[in-house]
Amino acid sequence: MNQTMKPTRRALVLGLAGTAAFGRHALAHGLPTVAVTKDPTCGCCEKWVAHLRESGFTVTVTEGPVNPLKVRLGVPRDLASCHTAQVGGYVVEGHVPAGAIKRLLAERPEGTGLAVPGMPVGSPGMEVEGMEPDTYHIVLFGPSGRSVFARYRGGAAT
């Protein structure tokens, strides 16, 4: 007996939802955990952490003094921002977009890490309603020097 079964709308929706959830879960397992250290009172850091999680990263957060960590990890003072993260053997300083971090992990360039100095308007976690996003550089830094790793306007590469 050969019957053709048509999926119900409900089965189709549940299947798509399951696929989306599994895909996000699989993506998170393919990316290393991002360990963020931030000041306990910083709201923009929380927004940046949310951006990373929405982009598929698993993120752990430690609240406490950040400056001693920056010094220990070799973050140049002029590249410093409000939070510091570690992922896949690299340092990530400031409001670096998740896309740039994924590119860093895929390409594995020689260097200590990436930094977005200061707090550019429109960078992930620094979105301000009614304000145009800044264009800014993401800097790859390390013992052998610095270079522009990417250029972004707000949260998008340019």
Name the β-bridge partners of 146: 141
pTM: 0.80
**pLDDT > 70: percent of the chain:** 82
Edge to edge, what strands does the sheet with 59-63 contain? Answer: 59-63, 34-38, 83-87, 90-94, 113-116, 135-142, 145-153, 156-157
pLDDT tens profile 39-80: 888 888 899 999 999 999 999 999 999 999 999 999 999 999
Neighbouring residues of 157: CB distance < 8 A, sequence distance ≥ 6: 97, 99, 100, 150, 151
pLDDT tens profile 115-128: 999 899 999 999 99
